Structure 1
Amino acid sequence: MELGLKGKRALVTGSTAGIGFATARALVAEGAHVTVNGRTQARVDGAVDALRRELPDATITGITADLSSREGCDTLTGQLPEIDVLVNNLGIFEPKPFEQIRDEDWIRFFETNVLSGVRLSRHYVPGMRTRNWGRIVFVSSESALQIPAEMIHYGMTKTAQLAVARGLAETLAGTGITVNSVLPGPTASEGVGGFVAQLAASRGVDASVIEHEFFATARPSSLLQRFTTPDEIAAMITYVCSAPASATTGAALRVDGGVVRAIA
């Protein structure tokens, strides 16, 4: 299928590893001109170099900016004033008992996971309106629908992303701009993979044992019964960024391995 992304200018936030990096790679492979983003120059340079080695003819740039603040978002948009495709992938998570989640934690999570996407979308939407074409994707989570008791503050931000995405799609009704959310399930991203490996090492077992236990106890409703891969999530994100996905907007698309027990 021709996705119509050749030459489109795409930004993927938080894209030095995991779902963000896989999405950047998938967009680059489709001919998009992709900007990678991360908080440190070393991580950004490493991601750009890796993509250029794999796809030497591609157009790839990197911008170092901490998007958890207004100043960081301003730094990025100052260097990249116009784009066609925005993937709001940046996100943080942290298991913590509710009683221990301080005000500062709630604010930090909201600033990073929600306001980064709000600020960038607010900046880029006017240009998309002028061109009457654009794609905005919020990378949410199944935790938006099933709030995890072990990190309520994270779940709150993922639900908020769904509200922002749907509301923004409503304001863009009748235009060539689509806004969607993609909801991954438990994914073998860098953070999760590191946590699983560390836990396995501490117990002297294989990582597959930890994975099996996780799905047996924490996510028993999973139909997949394994972690999804970043590439599997990136495939859905890339499709909704494409030209053929022009009739998909205002949607919350689950790539959760069937964790959410719903038929719609």
Structure 2
Amino acid sequence: MDLQLKNKTALVTGSTDGIGLATAKGLLKEGAKVYINGRHQTKIDEVVAILQNEFPQSEVHGIAADFAKVEDVDELLRQLPEVDILINNVGIYSSQPFETTDDEAWFHDFEVNVMSGVRLSRFYVQKMKQKNWGRIVFLSSESAINIPDDMILYGVTKTAYLALSRGLAKYLRGTDITVNAILPGPTWSAGNHAGMQKLAAERGISEQEASLEFIREKRPSSIIERFAEPEEVASLIVYISSPLSSATTGAALRVDGGVVNSAF
């Protein structure tokens, strides 16, 4: 299927690993020009070189930015003043006891997980409105609905993305700009590999066994009963970024492996 993404320009934040990288690959495969992002230029350069080798017929670039720093965001916008597709993927998380999670942690994570999407969307939507076409995608999480008791801060930021995406979609009613939220479940990434390796070492089991135990203990409602691969999530993101998805907007689209115990 041709997703009609040739000649479209996309920015994927937080895309040197995991879902972001898989999304960048999916967009490149469909012929889009893609800008990847991370905090460290050295890592970005390495990933860009890999992608250029894998997709020699496509165009890929990289821009370093730490979304906890407004000046980094401003510089990214200066370097890339217009996009057709914005994938707000960047996000941070950690297990934190509620009573010891201080204001600094709350404000820092909100800067990265919420305000990054606010700032980028606010800027790019102006040009999208002029062209009357665009795609804005927010990476939320099943944790926006199933708030983890050991990651309340993370869950709150992801719930904020649901409100932001729905409200922005309504604001853009009557245009050819769609706004949607994607809700992945547990998905393999560098951070999750590190977490499962730590759990494996603590219990004297393999990383794969640790991941299955995590699902049984922390996400017992999972229907697929495993971590998803990044490509399984990226496939939905790439489709939602395409002209073919023009009737889907204001939606919270779950690719959570059935973790959320609801049909709707």
Matching residue of 2:20: 20
Q: Distance in 1 between matches of 2:135 and 2:169?
A: 10
**CA-CA distance at 1:69 after TM superposition:** 2.4
Q: Distance in 1 between matches of 2:165 and 2:46?
A: 31
Q: Which amino acid aligns with 1:179?
A: V
Matching residue of 1:32: 32
Q: Distance in 1 between matches of 2:139 and 2:161?
A: 8
Describe the SS at the equivalent of 1:15.
coil
Unaligned runs of 5+ in 1: none
Q: Distance in 2 between matches of 1:172 and 1:240?
A: 16
Q: Distance in 2 between matches of 1:162 and 1:43?
A: 30
**CA-CA distance at 1:198 after TM superposition:** 2.6
Give me the identity figure in percent.
55
Matching residue of 2:71: 71
TM-score normalized by the length of structure 2: 0.98
Describe the SS at the equivalent of 2:153.
helix
**CA-CA distance at 1:164 after TM superposition:** 0.5
The 8 Å contact of residues 70 and 119 in structure 1, kept in 2 or not, is answered as: no
Cα deviation 1:36-70 (Å, max 9, x = unaligned): 11100111111111111111121001001112222
Matching residue of 2:220: 220
Query: Which stretch shows the higher mean deviation, 37-46 or 62-71?
Result: 62-71
**CA-CA distance at 1:251 after TM superposition:** 0.2
Aligned length: 264
Q: Does 1:186 align with 2:206?
A: no
**CA-CA distance at 1:205 after TM superposition:** 1.2
Q: Distance in 2 between matches of 1:131 and 1:91?
A: 29
Describe the SS at the equivalent of 1:2.
coil
Cα deviation 1:106-138 (Å, max 9, x = unaligned): 101111000000000000001000000000000
Residues 1-264 of structure 1: pairs in structure 2 closer than 5 A: 1-264=1-264
Q: Which amino acid aligns with 2:118?
A: V
Query: Which stretch shows the higher mean deviation, 190-199 or 9-18?
Result: 190-199
**CA-CA distance at 1:201 after TM superposition:** 2.8
Q: Distance in 2 between matches of 1:153 and 1:204?
A: 30
Q: Distance in 2 between matches of 1:24 and 1:122?
A: 22
The 8 Å contact of residues 69 and 116 in structure 1, kept in 2 or not, is answered as: no
Q: Aligned Cα RMSD in Å? A: 0.8
Q: Distance in 1 between matches of 2:29 and 2:258?
A: 28
Q: Distance in 2 between matches of 1:119 and 1:192?
A: 27
The 8 Å contact of residues 136 and 180 in structure 1, kept in 2 or not, is answered as: yes
Q: Which amino acid aligns with 2:23?
A: T
Unaligned runs of 5+ in 2: none
Q: Distance in 2 between matches of 1:54 and 1:194?
A: 26
Cα deviation 1:125-164 (Å, max 9, x = unaligned): 0100000000000000000001100010000000000100
Q: Distance in 2 between matches of 1:114 and 1:74?
A: 16
**CA-CA distance at 1:219 after TM superposition:** 0.6
Describe the SS at the equivalent of 1:61.
strand
Cα deviation 1:161-210 (Å, max 9, x = unaligned): 01001110011000010000000001111100111123213433111221
